[in-house]
Structure 1
Amino acid sequence: MNATDFAAGQWTRATGTGVDPHEYRRVTEALTSVAHWGPSFLSTGHRYLQRAEDAGSSRSAGEYLLTAARWFHLATLAPYADAPRAAAEADRALSRALTVLEPGARRVTGEGFTGWLRGPADAPGTVVLVPGLDSAKEEFLDLASALLARGLAVFAMDGPGQGVLAATTTFVPDYEQVVGRIVDALGVARVGLVGLSLGGYFAARAAALEPRVAAVATVSGPFRLDWEELPPPVRDIMARRAGGADAAQEFVRHVDLTALAPHIAAPLLVVDGGQDVIPGVTNGEPLARLAPHGTYLSVPHGDHLLGNARPDWLPHLGDHFTHTLTGTPA
């Protein structure tokens, strides 16, 4: 795939992450090869770090640091030898930003996870944001903001094989174990889970097997994966994150929610985009149908992660967690 086509394919995902669409176009239009993607995005992130250093207020510095974190994360989306460095830069920039902007934010790290807990200490509910195949905690800052605005606490995390942990860990199918350790570390009685893309599988599986999950939502999450039908780029990413092609095939074999869906006792919202059609990936309608308390929201014009249709689903997701976790009308 050439750089123009790759940039077009990442357009709504990148703008959904929160980068300026005009700057995204300026950066990507200058690319002559996909190989230049990582270095160009890393360089853009570094420019924001310099702006943070030169800022006239701590607020401006923090906002520049958040933007730097977004660009550093996006640098990892194309094959890039220095991707671990970009992920580490994203993690550092986010940490610096939250230290400045939200002094009450708390870094929480344990076996197989790390992330930031944000929001009021007396929040009526806590939502864990679970990333997917090649996403990370820095990608869903707008989703976190929407939930924080409703008075909920949010834990945005990287799990095994994800984000800053991708350099030292690999995917695990039994994600409910990770979620259980997170609930213990956060010191709460129950949590909500939002799973994005492959994170939708992780979240749904955890909801079926971890009783402290009180609400769950998936966004563009797979119901089932078929290795033989997956496009080569998806297989390649899966192999990198799972620890090799054989390990990736074995991992994919576990991604099937047929038997687990009926055991999801928590209220479940499944969000899909009608334009999100990836060979080898079964969308979430069967998950919502088989779960005892499942609701299906399909946005016909939505693409993968529905970055092109946020008003059509993000308020619904916020309502889902507000009502379920707090017991009050959305």
Structure 2
Amino acid sequence: MKASEFAAAQWTRATGAGVDPHEYQRVTGGLTSVADWGPAFLRAGKAHLRRAESAGSSVSAGEHLLTAARWFHLATLAPYAEASRAAAEADDALGRALTVLEPGARRVSGEGFTGWLRGPSDAPGTVVVVPGLDSAKEEFLGVVDALLARGLAVFAMDGPGQGVLAAGTTLVPDYERIVGRVVDALGVARVGLVGLSLGGWFAARAAALEPRVAAVATVSGPFRLDWDELPPPVRDIMARRAGGADAARDFARRVDLTSLAPRIAAPLLVVDGGRDVIPGVTNGEPLARLAPRGTYLSVPHGDHLLGNARPDWLPQVADHLTHALTDTPV
């Protein structure tokens, strides 16, 4: 794939993650091959680190650090020998940003997970943001902000094979065990989950099998995957994150919510983008239909992760989780 084609394919994902679209065009416009992607995005992130160091206020420094975290994470989206370093840089920049901007934010880590708990200590509910195949906690800062604005506490996490943990762990299908450990570590009685892309499957599976999940939303999440139907780039990413092609094929076979959907007792909102081109993640309707309290939202012009249609789904997702966790009417 040409660098220009790859950049175009990642456009709404990157801008949906919060990078400036004009800066994105400047950075990607100079790429001559996809191999240049990682180094170019690392340079962009480091430029924001330098801006943070010379910023005239702590707020400006924190904002530049958040932007750096986004760029460092996006550096991992293309095959790159130093992707693990980029993920570590993203993790470090996010931690430094929150230390400056939100002194009350708390790093919480345990077996198979790490992340940041943000929001008021007396929040009426807590939401866990679950990333997907090659996403990470740094990609969904906008989702976190929408939930924080509604008074909730939010734990944005990396799990096995994700984000900063990808260097030393692999994807696990039984993500409900990870969610259970997260709930234990947060010390709350129940949580809401929002899962994005493959994280939607993780979240739905956890909602079916972990009784402390009291609300759930999925965004571009698969109902079922067929390995042979997945595009080669997706298979390649899954192989890297799962520990090899055989492990990835076995993992993909596990992605099937047919028997688990009826066991999701919590209120569920399923969001699909009608222009999503990844096989398996445009079939959320059966999940919403089979779940006892499922609701389906299809955004016809939305692509994968719906970075091109945020006003059409993010407020609904945030309201859904807020109403369910606070027992307020929709």
Instruction: Please give the TM-score of this superposition, normalised by the length of structure 2.
Output: 0.99
Q: Is 1:312 matched up with 2:294?
A: no
CA distance in 2, matches of 1:228, 1:303: 22
Is 1:70 the counterpart of 2:64? The answer is no
Q: 194-203 or 270-279: which moved more?
A: 270-279
Q: Do the aligned partners of 1:61 and 1:97 also contact (CA within 8 Å) in 2?
A: yes
Paired residues for 1:77-156 under 5 Å: 77-156=77-156
Determine the structure 1 residue equivalent to 2:231.
231
CA distance in 1: counterparts of 2:329 and 2:156, whole angstroms: 25
State the one-letter code of the partner of 2:100: V
CA contact (8 A) 1:228 1:280 kept: no
Counterpart code for 1:147: L
How far does residue 305 in structure 1 lie from its aligned partner after superposition?
0.4
Q: Which residue of 1 aligns with 2:192?
A: 192
Equivalent AA in structure 2 for residue 264 of structure 1: I
For residues 27 and 256 of structure 2, the distance between their equivalents in structure 1, rounded to whole angstroms, comes to 39
State the shift of 1:289 in Å.
0.5
Q: State the distance in 1 between where 2:183 and 2:62 align.
A: 28
Is there any run of 5+ residues in structure 2 with no aligned partner, and where? none
What 5-or-longer segments of structure 1 have no aligned partner? none
The one-letter code matched in structure 1 to 2:81 is A
**C-alpha contact 2:276 2:282 (8 A) present in aligned 1:** no
Aligned letter for 1:52?
A
Shift of residue 281, structure 1, vs aligned partner: 4.6
Match of 1:296 in 2: 296
Q: Which amino acid aligns with 1:317?
A: V
CA deviation digits over 1:75-102, x for unaligned, max 9? Answer: 0001101000000000000000000000
Q: Which residue of 2 aligns with 1:323?
A: 323
Partner residue in 2 for 1:285: 285
Q: 1 CA distance for matches of 2:279 and 2:266?
A: 29
- Partner of 2:138, secondary structure, is helix
Tell whether the 8 Å contact from 1:105 to 1:118 is kept in structure 2 after alignment.
yes
- Where 1:208 maps in the other structure, the secondary structure is helix
- Give the residue type in structure 1 aligned to 2:285: E
Q: Secondary structure of the equivalent of 1:122?
A: coil
**Alignment coverage as a number of residue pairs:** 330
Shift of 1:278: 1.7
CA distance in 2, matches of 1:266, 1:43: 44
1:18 alignment counterpart: 18
- Rounded Cα–Cα distance in structure 2 between residues aligned with 1:324 and 1:230: 34
Q: 2:181: which partner in 1?
A: 181
For the 8 Å contact 1:230–1:281, the answer to whether it is kept is no
Task: Tell me the distance in 1 between the aligned counterparts of 2:312 and 2:181.
Answer: 33
Report deviation, 1:282.
Answer: 5.2
* Partner AA of 1:293 in structure 2: R
Distance 1:278 1:96 in 2: 35
Three-state SS of the structure 1 residue aligned to 2:176 is: helix
Using the size of structure 1 for normalisation, the TM-score is 0.99
Once the two structures are superposed, residues 130-185 of structure 1 have per-residue CA deviations (whole angstroms, 9 ceiling, x without a partner) of: 00010000000000000000000000000000000000000001000000000000
Identity across matched positions, percent = 84
